[in-house]
Amino acid sequence: MKVKRFGVSLEESLLEKLDDLVKQNKFPNRSQAIRFLINNNIVEEKWEENKDVAGAIVLVYDHHKRDLQTKSTDVQHDFHTLILSVQHVHLDHNNCLETIAVKGKANELSALANELIALKGIKHGKLVMSAC
Ligand code: NI
């Protein structure tokens, strides 16, 4: 990919914020931080406009909780066209980590994530929004 250079004028306070971002994320330079911000913005816009997007739903739960796995499977079957893969890891004696890779219309992916995260017994759930 061709890389173009351009000059950026910024207020000092904004430049300080950019440098903080570089430090916090351990970016090698300011260019990488600006790339990160632009890409994040594009992903957010695609999700807001309900375009075809991709992402991952991350769930942590106690597999001893009654009916949780049955209910989670029911929800996943209701939305099966959106699900690319499911990875299940047994974290310890009680806890499971499930990563569900998804692709489809943004609002459908959000609906699937919301239903799963709302299930009784889910300790932590998060939809990671990305785009392709
Ligand atoms: Ni497990």
- How many Å apart are CA 68 and CA 119, to the nearest integer? 7
Q: How confident is the model at residue 4 (pLDDT cuts 50, 70, 90)?
A: very high
| Residue 85 CA, ligand 1 centroid: distance in Å | 16
Cβ–Cβ under 8 Å, residues 61 and 122: yes
CA dihedral (6, 46, 44, 54) positive or negative: negative
CA 64 / ligand 1 centre spacing (Å): 9
pTM: 0.83
Quote the percentage of the chain above a pLDDT of 70: 100
Q: Which residue has the tokens 């971002």?
A: 21
CA 92 to ligand 1 center in whole angstroms? 8
Instruction: Report which of 58, 66, 47, 27 is spatially closest to residue 106, judged by C-alpha positions.
Output: 47
- Which pLDDT tens digit goes with each residue over 43-91? 999 999 999 999 999 999 999 988 999 999 999 999 999 999 999 999 9
72 Cα: distance to centroid of ligand 1 (angstroms): 13
Distance 70 CA to ligand 1 centre (A): 13
Read off the tokens for 118.
């709302």
- How far does the centroid of ligand 1 lie from the alpha carbon of residue 132, in Å? 30
62 Cα to the center of ligand 1, angstroms: 8
Q: Give whole-number Cα distances, 86 to 23, 56, 76, 89, in Å.
A: 34, 10, 10, 10
Distance from the alpha carbon of residue 88 to the mean position of ligand 1, in angstroms: 6
* Interval between CA 77 and ligand 1 midpoint (Å): 19
